Chains A and B, each alone.
Chain A
Amino acid sequence: MARIGVFVCWCGSNIAETVNVSKASEISGNIPGVVYSVDYKYMCSDPGQTLLKNAIKEHNLTGAVVASCSPRMHEKTFRKAAKDAGMNPYMLEMANIREQCSWVHDNKDEGTDKTIDLIRMMVEKVKRNHPLEDIKIPVTKKALVIGGGVAGIQAALDIAAGGVPVVLVERESSIGGKMAALDETFPTLDCSQCILTPKMVEVSQDPLIEIMSFSEIEKVEGYVGNFKATIRKKARYVDTDLCTGCGTCWLKCPVKVTSEFEQGLGKRKAIYIPFPQAIPSRPRIDPENCLKLTKDRCGICQKVCPTKAINYDDVDRLVEVEVGAIVVTTGYKIMPVSEFPEYGGGRYKDVVTALQFERMVCASGPTLGELQRPSDGKLPETVVFVKCVGSRDPEHHHSYCSKICCMYVAKQTMLYRHKVHNGNCYVFYIDVRSNGKNYEEFVRRAQEKEGAQYIRGRVSQVYKDGEDLVVEGADTLTNSQVKIKCDLVVLATAMEAPDGIKELAQKLGISYDQNGFLTEAHPKLKPIESSTAGVFLAGCALSPRDIPDSVSEASGAAAKVLGLLSKDEMHKDGVVAFVNEATCVACQNCIRVCPFVAIQLKDICNRKGEVLRQVADVNPGLCVGCGTCTPSCPSRSIELKGFTDAELFAEINALAEL
């Protein structure tokens, strides 16, 4: 016989103002099966919880209904209290009389009636509830970091510092990401490579970190604590174990190709490392340009290699790794100038992206830090920077603000003025957004001390007048049109989600927004968790952000991973789907609708091991209890524990009886 207690909460005046709580608790006491009912000012407070615990013990309750706020708020609190008092936590249910009653009504009598209905429903449900147990899942103590930019590097280092082995997968042949291509960083103007390369070296020296460069994620299976990732190690044509990175091959290679790392401004060889500090410092052969691989000629690199590391017959290899948690730090790409024909992008060589400008002034860049404009190598005496190119432009490109352009443009004006002391530099802006530590001061410094002239307005077009470029814009502060003859135009183009992010998100079962950036589980309280348990996000994979934000998020994700992998087994909510194997006909409807790929077919065998028939089988580790499968089942064979048909119909009947 059920012995149920009802606890009605006032929530101060939140509930008590529109609901007669004492009347509700009094009437609830008369519902069959209810042996104890009480109202209290704040059930979630410490005395409130003690009241619940004492009542469970004194009245020997088998179930409890707490009528208060949404279960999203305090279900954990009350279930924990019930557990402490010796009751199965799943025998406690909450009736939401705040969000679903007092906050949406103003008539006290009606509110009270509805409260009693809600309590009656939950009492009927609790009567049919079964004690459930938390699900225990063993954990693989290894992590996978996807993306070897500064965020991925930081995440890998922090996870390894906690004693957990890490696999760091990078698509390019070296880790380092975009930060490795930058010259100096705002707001301190310290050299980007000087602060990044020590971290890269640390990664390569850490015995717990395995770098898989020039590799991509092929497939991810499994669930939190037990992922199985298949990684495609793309054909590199160089045996990284034999190779010593001596550099003879790329010195002797006769093929010169445009370098991706130099943003198309410099050259590389067909066998190459992207930049001198590359980690791992092992070259790869670019099969599209290598003479041996395209025309079966040359073969010089193989001849000169002292360790015989070159293998022209190399193929892609698939490697499987088992990990407990995944961090996605896939970064961004920037829009190419060719997307902006009105600014002469793609037509004029001297219209460059900010990342190209970064290479043009960088001491390790193609001109070794000597500023030359791409078309004729002339020193640019007047430079125009254009902000919000592709950003804040919902009609044509992206509606979002790329966040970092305001800061790096201020920095680039300084870099320019440090190279060309009497050069003119103009910046077209709409708003200056400098919301970071020492950021506003930095932008003021660019304008006050470093001589950048800011012009408030957008640029309409860029065209060529003889040797010069002419920028036509507006100055909205004086309400006039502006024409600037200049030598170089730098476009602060928008940050975009990188290529292949959607495919990766689908492999991982995580969501992305309309711009292709990955979506966090909650914008405020779960900013680095994805919608899939055990998959964490950091850096520009989420949305445009700067280096400090990316690094701190990466450390945050690492803390989450270490927390998850600190236990030998994980406890998971007992609300999962289960299959009645006697009635399941293996129609596979549930398998098709399950968004978490948690259901598979299972063979039912006789004693001899012959397969008699198949039934659906739920993997409790993967199931999140969303309930999508239950309505899809034509034979009602799949149900959700804690939300069975019997329980839900009891609720509806309790409501309909009146």
Chain B
Amino acid sequence: MLIKIGREVNLLDFGKELEKESGTDIRKCYQCGKCTAGCPMNFEMDISPSQIIRFSQLGMKEKVLNSRTIWYCIFCETCSTRCPQGVDIKGVMDGLRRMAVARNIKPKSKTRFLEKAFQSIIYMFGRVYEPGMVGEYNLRSKELLHDVPLFPLMLKKRKISLKIHTKRAKEIRTMMKRAKKIRERKLKETEGSK
């Protein structure tokens, strides 16, 4: 792989944006690899967490925003807790996800279905309704019977309930509509600036 940096990449712009989105300074990282060493999701990742930081330091935004890694991070914060330099790696992953969404980059994992399902359930009831959410996730991911055999056992053990709880669903719906509008406006702005 040839890394082309210099005039082609503006290090500061990407670094500043990432710092704003993640709330952490990636320049602190000295590449000890402790985040990679303890990452429980590393087996699913194409680029290791420490490499995400390294590529970000080099300003290679295409590489990091199009990686699987940022979508497979489960936010367990093992990395952020252990980082000797106080880099919030989890925050970086979160920030990169948001930056990817803002650029209309399609997520590289099924997480996106889960997030969609989560949002629509919240939109409906104002609270989580797990059977509905799982159902919608299965519909979206086109795996209709995924985990269905587990359902009766979970019901029996009271890990899942069929009862619907709603709470201030209307207000949450208004909130989400407004958030959607803001996001659309922002997306237009970024497209306009391009």
- A457 near B39 (CB under 8 angstroms)? no
Residues of A within 8 A of B39 (CB): 481
- B48 near A480 (CB under 8 angstroms)? yes
- A74 interfacial contact with B, CB 8 Å: no
Given contacts A481-B39, A481-B42, contact A474 B34 (CB under 8 A): yes
- A395 near B37 (CB under 8 angstroms)? no
Kindly provide the distance from the CB of B87 to the nearest chain A CB, expressed in whole angstroms: 9
Given contacts A472-B38, A474-B48, contact A456 B84 (CB under 8 A): no
- B50 near A476 (CB under 8 angstroms)? yes
- A460 near B82 (CB under 8 angstroms)? yes
Kindly provide the distance from the CB of A482 to the nearest chain B CB, expressed in whole angstroms: 7
Taking CB as reference atom, which chain A residue is nearest B28?
A394
- B51 near A479 (CB under 8 angstroms)? yes
Kindly provide the distance from the CB of A413 to the nearest chain B CB, expressed in whole angstroms: 20
- B82 near A473 (CB under 8 angstroms)? no
- Cα A396 to Cα B50 in complex, Å, equals 19
- B84 near A474 (CB under 8 angstroms)? no
Taking CB as reference atom, which chain B residue is nearest A392?
B84
User: What interface size band does chain A fall in?
Assistant: 20 to 34
- B124 interfacial contact with A, CB 8 Å: no
- A395 near B31 (CB under 8 angstroms)? no
- B84 near A472 (CB under 8 angstroms)? no
- A396 near B38 (CB under 8 angstroms)? no
Residues of B within 8 A of A473 (CB): 33, 37
- Cα A200 to Cα B151 in complex, Å, equals 77
Among B32, B42, B48, B86, contact of A394 (Cβ-Cβ < 8 Å): B86
Residues of B within 8 A of A482 (CB): 37
- A458 near B85 (CB under 8 angstroms)? no
Given contacts A461-B38, A479-B48, contact A474 B33 (CB under 8 A): yes
- B30 near A430 (CB under 8 angstroms)? yes
- A458 near B51 (CB under 8 angstroms)? no
Contact with B along A472-512 (1 / 0, CB 8 A): 11111001111000000000000000000000000000000
Residues of B within 8 A of A474 (CB): 33-34, 36-37, 48, 50
- A427 interfacial contact with B, CB 8 Å: no
- Cα A393 to Cα B85 in complex, Å, equals 6
Kindly provide the distance from the CB of A395 to the nearest chain B CB, expressed in whole angstroms: 4
- A314 interfacial contact with B, CB 8 Å: no
- B50 near A342 (CB under 8 angstroms)? no
Residues of A within 8 A of B85 (CB): 394-395
Which one of B31, B33, B82 has the greatest number of beta carbons of chain A within 10 Å?
B33
- Cα A538 to Cα B11 in complex, Å, equals 44
Which residues in window 441-484 of A have CB below 8 A to B? 456-461, 472-476, 479-482
- B187 interfacial contact with A, CB 8 Å: no
Among B30, B36, B86, contact of A479 (Cβ-Cβ < 8 Å): B36
Residues of B within 8 A of A342 (CB): 82
Among A394, A457, A480, contact of B84 (Cβ-Cβ < 8 Å): A394
Taking CB as reference atom, which chain B residue is nearest A398?
B84
- B83 interfacial contact with A, CB 8 Å: yes
Residues of B within 8 A of A395 (CB): 83-86
- B32 near A430 (CB under 8 angstroms)? yes
- Cα A388 to Cα B33 in complex, Å, equals 12
- Cα A460 to Cα B32 in complex, Å, equals 10
- Cα A233 to Cα B31 in complex, Å, equals 50
Residues of A within 8 A of B38 (CB): 460-461, 472
Residues of A within 8 A of B82 (CB): 342, 460
- A458 near B32 (CB under 8 angstroms)? yes
Taking CB as reference atom, which chain A residue is nearest B31?
A476
Taking CB as reference atom, which chain B residue is nearest A482?
B37
- Cα A526 to Cα B132 in complex, Å, equals 73
Please list the 3 inter-chain residue pairs (A to B) with the smallest Cβ-Cβ separation, ordered nearest first: A460-B38, A460-B37, A457-B33
For the complex with contacts A394-B84, A474-B37, A476-B31, 11 further pairs of A-B residues with Cβ separation under 8 Å are: A392-B84, A396-B84, A430-B33, A458-B33, A458-B37, A460-B37, A472-B37, A476-B33, A479-B47, A480-B48, A481-B48
16 pairs across A/B with beta carbons < 8 Å?
A342-B82, A395-B85, A430-B31, A430-B33, A457-B33, A458-B34, A460-B34, A460-B78, A461-B38, A473-B33, A474-B34, A476-B33, A479-B47, A479-B48, A479-B50, A482-B37
Query: What residues make up the interface of B, taking CB atoms closer than 8 Å to A?
Result: 30-34, 36-39, 42, 47-48, 50-51, 78, 82-86
